Structure 1
Amino acid sequence: MGLFKNQFANVVEWEEFREDMIFYKWNNEEIKKGSKLIIRPGQDAIFLCNGKIEGIFTDEGDYDIESQIIPFLSTLKGFKFGFNSGMRAEVLFVNTKEFTVKWGTKNAINIPTPSLPGGMPIRSNGTFNFKVNDYVALIDNIAGVKQSYLVEDVKLRITAILDQLLMKWISKEGKDMFNLQANAFDISKGIQTDLDMQIINIGMTITGFNIMSFTYPEEVQNMINKTASHSMVGDIGRYQQVSMTDGIASGNISGGGAASDMAGMMMGMNMANQMMQNMNNYNNSNVGTASTPQPNTAANNTSANQTKPNFCPNCGQKTTNANFCPNCGQKLV
């Protein structure tokens, strides 16, 4: 009798669990007497009968269905297992974790802008997060007709409308087309709200939406980088001089030897002109700083024309500004 009884026992669990699976429906026609329910971490188990929710179990563990589950079911709590027949029911296992999905625009989005008739072609990428939050809506619209549902299925729903939402929120309120990253937070919040409205009817909610970067066409990006460089330098003349100096120092002046020689000559001329200008400024600043001339007397003329030595050329004695050496009498002037 005991062996025959175990023949009808089975285990109700999420078979072949996958991290990217949102829900899995267990359907084995009948749940036999002696069956076990296994709920693993991150799972909820929903008992269904004729498409109607009978009970939701959220605590992980192993349960005896007859003694621990059936008493809590809505309309089946009075059901008694027969000897040769079981209970006809389905069990929907739901992954309760928050899913993170990477997204990226497959084609450039042409954002309308007055300066470009065809629009500014922009690409973008980032991530979004979602989770199941309404089991009734999930069953009514998805789980009622599907055995399982994957993250990829939700991603297809999102990316189908994402380009339109990006265009809507980038264009809204005249966002700066060349500095979209500065407005990424506001754009993300607007898109998150709209996406949430798109998937609320299937029992899910968008818990986060992030824009990692905006990508411009190469020529536009080069223009943005050059403008930023000029703004950092401030003086365009100095920027050109520094660029030419760096090119000469590294030997990267393009155009061959002639171009390099011409650039070197121009740089040399500029440097010479700068040196001359500095010297003129220095001389002008020192004009008028000399001492006041003495009266034009004979003594002064003599001392101006003839300089007395500090030491006697004959004996080496210090002269102390005398006309004759105090030691040997040598004439000093």
Structure 2
Amino acid sequence: MSFFANQFANVVEWEEFRDDMIFWKWSNREIKKGSKLIIRPGQDAIFIHNGKIEGIFEAEGEYQIASEIIPFLSTLKGFKFGFNSGMRVEVLFVNTKEFTVKWGTKNPVLIPTPALPGGMPIRANGTLNFKVNDYVTLIDRIAGVKESYLVEDVKIRITSVLDQLLMKWISREGKDMFNLQANAFDIAKGIQEDLDMQIMDIGMTITGLQVMSFNYPPEIQEKITKVASYEMVGNLQKYQQIAMTDGIASGNVKGGGTAADMAGMMMGMNIANEMMKNINANQKPASESNSAPSSPTSEGKKPNFCPNCGAKNEGANFCPNCGHKLN
């Protein structure tokens, strides 16, 4: 008898396991005497009978269903296997790991700002983490009608509302529209709380959300970078000089126009003035040093030596050697 019974025995296991699969249902098959259950690491096995959870098994390993599983099922403890009889149950295998999803805005999110009447178009991207945390709700809302469920299914649900939540939390926390990265943590925290409410009703929870970067239109980003470089100068005059230099280097300021000519002339004059200041500063010490020795003669004092022959003078008006006048 046992030989014929065991030939109908089967193995209850997750046959189509995928890393991106949240759950998979073993169903529409009859469990016979001698059948066994295999639970692999990162899996939970939930026995369901007539739409009701009979038992949840979390420890990995291999179990004999007749002796190690049925005695723990809530309403099937007294079930007895016969020669040809078995029991029909569904076994839902759940992936218990935390899933990571990369996200990004499908279209630019228009954030209201007084500077732009149509709103500031901003894109953002990052990652989020979620996992299953409520088996009863999961079975009631999804597993009761689906044989499997993928990470991509959850991602579609999340990204459908992500753009609106991004707009909400940037407007609330983004005090500086041109430096949103400084508020990225608070923005991400707010979005996570709202997203958690969105997937709570399918038995899952958001365990983390990160905003990696905010992206502005290229022309806006260029202006932000340029303004930051000017602020580093910290001087209005230098700001104007750099702005003028940028304009000439880029070809935006060219000759032929009155404004351009005036700008070029003013810039040339400024450069010339700076050069003259440097020259005068360098020449001043030399001129002062040259005028110093002449001061004694200008005051009527006799030189100690004759400028004509070099003979020593003792205060006479004429050189005693060559007769050269000394005052």
* TM-score bracket for the superposition, by shorter chain length: 0.7 to 0.9
CA–CA distance in 2 between the matches of 1:174 and 1:6? 67
2:172 alignment partner in structure 1: 172
Give the letter aligned to residue 95 of structure 1: N
1:10 alignment partner in structure 2: 10
- For structure 1, which segment, 109-118 or 46-55, has the greater mean C-alpha deviation from structure 2 after superposition? 109-118
2:296 alignment partner in structure 1: 293
| Structure 2 residue 235 is the aligned partner of structure 1 residue 232 | no
Change (3 A) 1:14 1:285: same
Structure-to-structure mapping, 1:133-212, within 5 angstroms? 133-172=133-172, 175-212=175-212
Change (3 A) 1:276 1:85: same
Conserved in 2, the CA contact under 8 Å of 1:322 and 1:332? no
Change (3 A) 1:95 1:6: same
The CA RMSD measured in Å over matched residues stands at 3.3
C-alpha displacement of 1:34: 0.5
Conserved in 1, the CA contact under 8 Å of 2:24 and 2:148? yes
Conserved in 1, the CA contact under 8 Å of 2:100 and 2:127? yes
Change (3 A) 1:48 1:296: closer
2:308 alignment partner in structure 1: 306
Change (3 A) 1:63 1:332: farther
2:56 alignment partner in structure 1: 56
2:317 alignment partner in structure 1: none
Give the letter aligned to residue 308 of structure 2: Q
2:110 alignment partner in structure 1: 110
CA–CA distance in 2 between the matches of 1:91 and 1:81? 18
Q: Deviations over 1:149-182 (max 9, x none)?
A: 1101111111111111111111115621111111
C-alpha displacement of 1:104: 0.6
CA–CA distance in 2 between the matches of 1:285 and 1:89? 105
SS of the aligned residue for 2:303 comes to helix
Conserved in 1, the CA contact under 8 Å of 2:26 and 2:91? yes
C-alpha displacement of 1:56: 0.5
Conserved in 2, the CA contact under 8 Å of 1:127 and 1:212? yes
C-alpha displacement of 1:46: 0.4
Conserved in 1, the CA contact under 8 Å of 2:104 and 2:124? yes
Q: Deviations over 1:185-231 (max 9, x none)?
A: 00000010011011111110000011111111111111101101111
C-alpha displacement of 1:28: 3.3
Conserved in 1, the CA contact under 8 Å of 2:35 and 2:64? yes
2:23 alignment partner in structure 1: 23
Give the letter aligned to residue 300 of structure 1: P
**Matched positions, count:** 308
Q: Unaligned stretches of 5+ in structure 1? A: 309-320, 324-329
Conserved in 1, the CA contact under 8 Å of 2:43 and 2:60? yes
2:38 alignment partner in structure 1: 38
Q: Unaligned stretches of 5+ in structure 2? A: 314-320
Change (3 A) 1:187 1:237: same
CA–CA distance in 1 between the matches of 2:111 and 2:140? 38
SS of the aligned residue for 1:118 comes to strand
CA–CA distance in 2 between the matches of 1:24 and 1:15? 9
SS of the aligned residue for 2:130 comes to strand
- For structure 1, which segment, 15-24 or 238-247, has the greater mean C-alpha deviation from structure 2 after superposition? 238-247
| Structure 2 residue 39 is the aligned partner of structure 1 residue 47 | no
1:326 alignment partner in structure 2: none
SS of the aligned residue for 2:296 comes to coil
C-alpha displacement of 1:295: 6.7
| Structure 2 residue 278 is the aligned partner of structure 1 residue 275 | no
Change (3 A) 1:295 1:107: closer
Change (3 A) 1:117 1:253: closer
C-alpha displacement of 1:80: 1.0
Give the letter aligned to residue 293 of structure 1: P
Conserved in 1, the CA contact under 8 Å of 2:309 and 2:322? no
1:69 alignment partner in structure 2: 69
CA–CA distance in 1 between the matches of 2:140 and 2:250? 70
CA–CA distance in 2 between the matches of 1:298 and 1:183? 81
Change (3 A) 1:71 1:322: same
CA–CA distance in 1 between the matches of 2:162 and 2:98? 20
Change (3 A) 1:160 1:245: closer
SS of the aligned residue for 1:202 comes to coil
CA–CA distance in 2 between the matches of 1:153 and 1:332? 118
C-alpha displacement of 1:276: 1.5
C-alpha displacement of 1:238: 4.1
> Under a length normalisation based on structure 1, what TM-score does the superposition of the two structures give?
0.81
SS of the aligned residue for 1:48 comes to strand
Give the letter aligned to residue 165 of structure 1: L
SS of the aligned residue for 1:197 comes to helix
